[in-house]
Amino acid sequence: MTTDRTLDNEISSTEDFEAALRQVILAALRNDIDLRGTRDYHTDGATPDVEVMIVELRSNG
């Protein structure tokens, strides 16, 4: 299931971005989605295209 959720005007600071990213990551992990890898996101040209890489860190325990 995919939905296009818009966050216009909801992310106006680095802290907002990090909080939103945390929610997305935790939701994916709870649903057994493998986050590892690289994803490219292409925009409509109004903003830069970006590449996002997620790497699992080693546990210290």
Note the pTM of the prediction, 2 decimals.
0.73
State the amino acid at position 5 in one-letter form: R
Who has greater pLDDT, 2 or 43? 43
- Do residues 3 and 18 touch, judged by C-beta distance below 8 A? no
The sign of the CA dihedral 19, 21, 25, 31 is positive
- Cα dihedral 7→11→17→21 (10° resolution): -20
∠ CA 13-56-38 to the nearest 5 degrees?
Answer: 70
For the stretch 36-58, pLDDT in tens is: 999 999 998 899 999 999 999 99
Instruction: Write down the domain spans for the chain.
Output: 14-54
